[in-house]
């Protein structure tokens, strides 16, 4: 394992078209992932998690928006400086993605073998029987039973869990250095979910894969992640090693998120939930985006954006409270 991070995202900004103007769906996002490491990316729906993933892959349709700033350095190459053909060479091959919904992410009219095979053929140049063997091996590596038969199946003939394994087989065809898992278990039931997580962990142990794992489930974060970044309104508000974040959350939003995870051992009258709604991106408050919902907010929070505070080794959070409200 090299000491340099496999994936380094610096100051990533993605603007989406909105009415006449534009909104920042990803705002100055920075993080690193090392080989063999899993970074969790958590936040509510609309906080910019998926947009961050698509921005890294440069897959935001031009009609929707575009990346306007920052660097995405994959194994020493800044993806943002590449032309489309060069970028295509990295997609799937060195950095791949598993999408959220296995029911819609496979092409309904193409056979499983074809969908896995076209990736393997593209990355490794295999043809004929060698390609067929590689497809079967790829499916078997993702613990798909009877892979020889599955090759000629269509997606609708498989269960959700099996389809997501096919998605994993496609994602691992490179094999890539970085895997982006965009809520891959959200649509699955609990048993299937834990099987898939175990599978990804094993694959990571064998290959030294770096994983960016997007989720809103802290249970999954605890299971699979080494470090975790918390996103709110397009920004990373706190980033820390998992144990540290659970034990010592510094940002009020993280604190509130953790409080809203129900504890099965404690009986409560009402489950905790954060007051208010996440802000609309085209109507962000001045200052800290979380201020309107924050119990600790003071005047300065509503006026100026919060500074980033180093809260410990590998732990930082952006909050005026941690900065003593600027006094």
Indicate whether 90 belongs to the interface with another protein (CB under 8 A).
yes
> Which of 4, 81, 88, 149 is close enough to bind another protein by CB under 8 A?
88
The reply on whether position 59 binds another protein by CB under 8 A is: yes
Q: Alpha-carbon dihedral of residues 196, 198, 202, 205, nearest 10 degrees? A: 120
Return all residues near 298 (Cβ < 8 A) that are at least 6 apart.
Answer: 320, 325
Among 36, 71, 75, 91, binds another protein (CB under 8 A): 91
Token pair recorded at residue 252: 């009020």
**Three-state SS at 61:** coil
Give the number of other Cβ atoms within 10 Å of residue 130's Cβ.
13
Q: Is the omega angle on the peptide bond into residue 175 within 30 degrees of 0, that is, cis?
A: yes
> How many positions of this chain bind another protein (CB under 8 A)?
31
Is 70 a residue that touches another protein (CB under 8 A)? no
Region class of 128: left (phi > 0), else alpha (psi between -120 and 50), else beta: left
Cβ–Cβ under 8 Å, residues 20 and 80: no
Contacts for 102 with CB less than 8 Å, ≥ 6 apart: 160, 161, 163, 164, 166, 167, 184, 187, 188
What angle separates helix 112-124 from helix 128-141, to the nearest 10 degrees? 110
Least Å distance between CB 119 and another protein?
Answer: 5
Least distance CB 24 / another protein (angstroms): 22
Q: Does 122 bind another protein (CB under 8 A)?
A: yes
Q: Which is nearer to another protein, 89 or 304 (CB)?
A: 89
The DSSP bridge pattern shows strands 235-241 and 315-318 to be antiparallel
Scanning residues 128 to 187, which ones bind another protein (CB under 8 A)? 154, 156-157, 167, 170
The 92-111 site mask, x for binding another protein (CB under 8 A), equals xx--xx-xxx--xxxxxxx-
Q: How far is the CB of 88 from another protein (least distance, A)?
A: 5
Q: Which stretch binds another protein (CB under 8 A): 10-18, 91-99, 137-145, 319-327?
A: 91-99
Indicate whether 63 belongs to the interface with another protein (CB under 8 A). Answer: yes
Binding site for another protein (CB under 8 A): 57, 59, 61, 63, 88-93, 96-97, 99-101, 104-110, 118-119, 122-123, 154, 156-157, 167, 170
């Amino acid at each position: 394992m090299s000491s340099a991070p496999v994936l380094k995202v610096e100051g990533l900004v993605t603007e989406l078209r909105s009415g006449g103007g534009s909104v920042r769906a990803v705002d100055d996002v920075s993080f690193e992932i090392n080989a063999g490491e899993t970074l969790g990316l958590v936040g509510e729906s609309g906080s910019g998690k998926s947009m961050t993933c698509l921005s890294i892959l440069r897959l935001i349709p031009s009609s929707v928006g575009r990346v306007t700033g920052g660097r995405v350095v994959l194994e020493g190459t800044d993806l943002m400086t590449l032309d489309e053909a060069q970028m295509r060479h990295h997609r799937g091959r060195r950095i791949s993605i598993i999408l959220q919904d296995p029911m819609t992410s496979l092409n309904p009219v193409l056979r499983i073998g074809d969908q896995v095979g076209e990736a393997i053929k593209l990355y490794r140049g295999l043809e004929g029987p060698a390609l067929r063997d590689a497809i079967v091996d790829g499916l078997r590596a993702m613990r798909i039973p009877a892979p020889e038969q599955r090759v000629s199946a269509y997606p609708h003939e498989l269960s959700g869990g099996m389809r997501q394994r096919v998605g994993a087989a496609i994602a691992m065809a490179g094999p890539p250095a970085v895997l982006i898992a965009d809520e891959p278990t959200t649509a699955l039931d609990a048993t299937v979910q834990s099987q898939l997580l175990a599978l990804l962990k094993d694959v990571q142990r064998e290959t030294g894969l770096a994983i960016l794992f997007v989720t809103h489930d802290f249970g999954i974060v605890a299971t699979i992640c080494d470090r975790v970044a918390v996103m709110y309104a397009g920004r990373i508000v706190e980033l820390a090693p998992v144990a540290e974040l659970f034990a010592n959350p510094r940002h009020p939003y993280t604190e509130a998120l953790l409080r809203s995870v129900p504890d099965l051992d404690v009986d409560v009258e009402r489950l905790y939930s954060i007051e208010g709604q996440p802000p609309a991106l085209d109507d962000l408050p001045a200052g800290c985006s979380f201020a309107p919902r924050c119990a600790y907010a003071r005047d300065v929070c509503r006026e100026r954006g919060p500074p980033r505070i180093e809260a410990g080794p590998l732990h930082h959070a952006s909050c005026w409270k941690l900065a003593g409200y600027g006094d």
